[in-house]
Amino acid sequence: MANVTVREMLQAGLHFGHQTRRWNPKMKPYIYGPRNGIYIVNLDLTKRLFDKACDFITGEVKNGGSILFVGTKRQAQSIINEEAKRCGMFYVDHRWLGGMLTNFQTIKNSIERLKSIESMQEDGSINRFPKKEILLMEKERVKLERNVGGIKDMRKLPSVIFLVDPRKESIAINEAIKLNIPVVAITDTNCDPDNVDFIIPGNDDAIRSIRLITNHVAEAVLTGQALKDGEEASEEAVAAAMGDAGSEMAAEVPAEEVAEKPVEEVAEKVVKEVVEKPVEEVVEKVAEKPAETRE
Average pLDDT, the chain: 85
pTM: 0.77
Report the C-alpha gap between 248 and 236 in whole angstroms: 18
Report the C-alpha gap between 69 and 85 in whole angstroms: 10
Report the C-alpha gap between 111 and 130 in whole angstroms: 24
Please give the helix or strand (H or E) that residue 58 lies within, else none.
Answer: helix 43-62
Architecture of the domain made up of 102-156: Orthogonal Bundle (1.10)
pLDDT at residue 265 in the model = 52
Q: Which residue has the higher pLDDT, 283 or 41?
A: 41
| Candidate from 79-88, 113-122, 194-203, 249-258 with smallest mean pLDDT | 249-258
Q: Residue-wise over 228-266: b if at least 16 C-beta within 10 A, else e?
A: beeeeeeeeeeeebeeebbeebbeeeeeeeeeeeeeeeb
Domain ranges within the chain, ordered by starting residue? 102-156, 230-293
Task: Check pLDDT > 60 for residue 272.
Answer: no
pLDDT at residue 247 in the model = 60
pLDDT at residue 28 in the model = 95
Interval 183-209: pLDDT, tens:
999 999 999 999 999 999 999 999 999
* Band of pLDDT at residue 241, cut at 50, 70 and 90: low
pLDDT at residue 2 in the model = 66
Task: Check pLDDT > 60 for residue 68.
Answer: yes
